[in-house]
A and B are shown apart, each in its own frame.
Chain A
Amino acid sequence: MHPLLRLLACAALSMAVIGAACGGGASEESTASKTAAPVTNPVDPNTASAITGVVTLQGTPPSNPPINMGSDPYCMKLGAATTPVFVVSDDSGLENVFVYVKDGLGSLKFPVPSSPVVLDQKGCSYSPRVFGIQVGQSLDIVNSDETLHNIHALPMANREFNRGQALQGMKYTTTFTAPEVMLPFKCDVHKWMNAWVGVLEHPFYAVSGKAGAFALAGLPPGTYTIEAWHEKLGAQTQQITIGPKESKKISFVFKV
């Protein structure tokens, strides 16, 4: 073969390999299979109980680190911001703590909500920063910003993904196939953007809100291990037993 032709053939072959390697699609639907789940809730509503409580922070909370958004003019014009690691109320209530039933539900299976959970990229941050979802439940990841983001999930038990959302209003829907607490997200474009999701096979989870309050409702009577997770302070667990139609209060205290 003529050397030039050989050269061109090599180049063409390489391009073909490149083309094969870059396959994939622009589909905005994840292909992850959904877990089979029952249609009805196994908990008898006449005996359903609840666990409520509050998460507090003991000690002076460290100041949240300022965010330098200088790498993106759109984000920068939104004004100064800090990373909301410690969101603490006047009465020491700690927000953004993921509280969930870690153990005690046995082999009970729960229906998967048909409504999706929404993770919004808004104001160059994730909203919500900490949230929960059930295995098989849809997660809609949307971009409400006039800049682009990539949404990069870094799971241990689920499938990793990294999707680009170049335009405002873009949406990517996915599901998770295995329980995982906590599964982090990050944006590689804007290093300060982080979020965490707790993926569970049941609906008994909550994120502490204003004043650190949370509620786990609709539980069957039993003895449970409840865990509270904070992105910096780690996790704490407690055991609690509740009877039929009972409501008990517990509290978690994180120290700094």
Chain B
Amino acid sequence: MLHLFAMLVAAFTGILIFAGGLVTSTESGLSVPDWPNTYGYFMFFFPLEKMVGGIRYEHTHRLIASTVGFLILVLAAWLWRAETRRWVRRLGYLALAAVITQGILGGITVLWYLPDPISIAHASLAQIVFCLTMTIALATSPGWKRAYAANGPAPDDLMLQRVAVVTTGLIYLQIVVGATMRHTGAGLAIPDFPLMFGQLIPPHWDSKIAIHFAHRAGALIVSLAILATTGHVLYHHRSRRELRRPALLLLALLATQVTLGALTVLSKKEFIINSLHVVTGASVLVTSLVLTLRAHRSRFAGAVGSRVRFTPGPTIRTRPTVSPLETTRDHG
């Protein structure tokens, strides 16, 4: 039940990111000038018939954000009451602190007329909140608790662990660059795709073109990293369902995301496409995170009996071990 609730919270967080994408894509961030009230109304009592124009996006974003905040509060309390693993409980507290900070950042950015650093921090912290809720959902899942033991002990593949961590880090960095591009108005600084002003490298530069270029170059780097991670999984761990499925999903999301990125430019930032690009980017991030955490499962407490050190090729060597994360109270 806790896992289902955590899944619900994570799903709502994803929806919230999409709603936030709609706010920036429609440039509605300042259509409600006050905060936390809405045009002087207590936000939950704001009349529906007054939700017109840009207010529809901004106020809906605030309502969903409040819902997510409340859900995370319940989740943290639930974890505190029912969860035996200290690190999972701490994740709940951290998610609560992050979502509260996120709300404050959202308010400040409205009251201060969308200063770029605050807006970028708001967009970047949203991804952290999504990662935290997804990690809680994963850690409370039956599969994680069983250490994915249906196919034998989870592999301890150092190469996969490293490449997955790097990939997830690169994806997050790419999202931060994307947020910088959105909030500095550099989304169409390079107006064509796949070329840039008709060339492989922009023939002239300014700060916006540089940010936009960094996002495109970042997309290439992230794509290679994802291909490396998923390729490694599919080549060496095809039989491990818990790794194969997120790897395949990651590939599908990557293809979708690159397509949406191109369409965002070609459609001159059509707001639905633009917002889908935002939420798909977040989905790429959390999928990579799930794959990364599962690749590290053998290093968490509760791994089945032993850690299986993976070596490339057909040979798998098993050695008994005690997880460094294991504590007297923790399991998994």
* A residues at B contact (CB < 8 Å): 3-4, 7, 10-11, 14, 17-18, 21-22, 24, 26, 71-75, 147-148, 150, 152, 160, 162-164, 166, 187-191
Partner of B30, one of A14, A71, A72, A188: A188
Q: How far is the CB of B328 from chain A (nearest CB, A)?
A: 18
Q: How far is the CB of B40 from chain A (nearest CB, A)?
A: 6
Instruction: Please judge, given known A-B contacts A4-B80, A160-B113, A166-B39, whether A150 and B33 are in contact too, CB under 8 Å.
Output: yes
Q: Is B35 in contact with A188, judged by CB distance below 8 angstroms?
A: no
Main secondary structure of the interface of A (DSSP, over half): mixed
Shortest Cβ-Cβ A-B pairs, 7 listed: A189-B53, A166-B39, A188-B31, A72-B52, A162-B33, A14-B100, A164-B39
Q: Is B96 in contact with A26, judged by CB distance below 8 angstroms?
A: no
Q: Is A166 in contact with B50, judged by CB distance below 8 angstroms?
A: yes
Q: How far is the CA of A75 from the CA of B50 in the complex (A)?
A: 12
Instruction: Please judge, given known A-B contacts A22-B35, A164-B32, whether A188 and B52 are in contact too, CB under 8 Å.
Output: no
Partner of A150, one of B30, B93, B103, B111: B30
Partner of A18, one of B50, B52, B77, B104: B104
Q: Is A190 in contact with B33, judged by CB distance below 8 angstroms?
A: no
Q: Is B53 in contact with A17, judged by CB distance below 8 angstroms?
A: no
B24-51 contacts to A, CB under 8 A, are 27-37, 39-41, 50
Jot down 6 A-B pairs with beta carbons below 8 A, ordered by A.
Answer: A11-B96, A18-B103, A72-B52, A148-B52, A164-B32, A189-B31
Q: Is B54 in contact with A24, judged by CB distance below 8 angstroms?
A: no
Q: How far is the CA of A85 from the CA of B108 in the complex (A)?
A: 35
Q: Is B93 in contact with A7, judged by CB distance below 8 angstroms?
A: yes
B59-81 contacts to A, CB under 8 A, are 73, 76-77, 80
Known: A7-B76, A72-B53, A75-B52. 19 other contacts (CB 8 A): A3-B80, A10-B97, A10-B100, A14-B101, A17-B104, A18-B36, A21-B104, A21-B108, A22-B34, A22-B35, A74-B52, A148-B39, A148-B50, A160-B113, A163-B33, A166-B39, A166-B41, A188-B30, A188-B31
Instruction: Please judge, given known A-B contacts A150-B32, A189-B31, whether A26 and B40 are in contact too, CB under 8 Å.
Output: yes
Which of A10, A14, A150, A189 is the most central at the interface, judged by chain B CB atoms within 10 Å of its CB?
A: A189
B107 beta carbon closer than 8 Å to chain A = yes
Q: Which residues on A sit within 8 Å (CB–CB) of B97?
A: 10, 14
Q: Which residues on B sit within 8 Å (CB–CB) of A74?
A: 52
Partner of B36, one of A4, A11, A22, A166: A22
Q: Is A24 in contact with B27, judged by CB distance below 8 angstroms?
A: no
A-B pairs with beta carbons under 8 A, tally: 91
Q: How far is the CB of B183 from chain A (nearest CB, A)?
A: 16
Measured CB to CB, the nearest residue on chain A to B100 is: A14
Q: How far is the CA of A92 from the CA of B34 in the complex (A)?
A: 44
Q: Which residues on B sit within 8 Å (CB–CB) of A4?
A: 77, 80
B285 beta carbon closer than 8 Å to chain A = no
Q: Is A191 in contact with B27, judged by CB distance below 8 angstroms?
A: yes
Q: Is B73 in contact with A11, judged by CB distance below 8 angstroms?
A: yes
Q: How far is the CB of B251 from chain A (nearest CB, A)?
A: 38
Measured CB to CB, the nearest residue on chain A to B37 is: A22
Q: Which residues on B sit within 8 Å (CB–CB) of A7?
A: 76-77, 80, 93, 96
Q: How far is the CA of A187 from the CA of B55 in the complex (A)?
A: 11
Q: How far is the CA of A21 from the CA of B100 in the complex (A)?
A: 13
Q: Which residues on A sit within 8 Å (CB–CB) of B36?
A: 18, 22
Q: Is B50 in contact with A152, judged by CB distance below 8 angstroms?
A: no
Q: Is B96 in contact with A21, judged by CB distance below 8 angstroms?
A: no
Measured CB to CB, the nearest residue on chain A to B49 is: A73
B130-177 contacts to A, CB under 8 A, are none
Instruction: Please judge, given known A-B contacts A7-B80, A188-B28, whether A71 and B40 are in contact too, CB under 8 Å.
Output: no
Q: Is A71 in contact with B27, judged by CB distance below 8 angstroms?
A: no
Q: How far is the CB of A181 from chain B (nearest CB, A)?
A: 21
Q: How far is the CA of A73 from the CA of B50 in the complex (A)?
A: 10
Q: How far is the CB of A73 from chain B (nearest CB, A)?
A: 7
Q: How far is the CA of A71 from the CA of B37 in the complex (A)?
A: 22
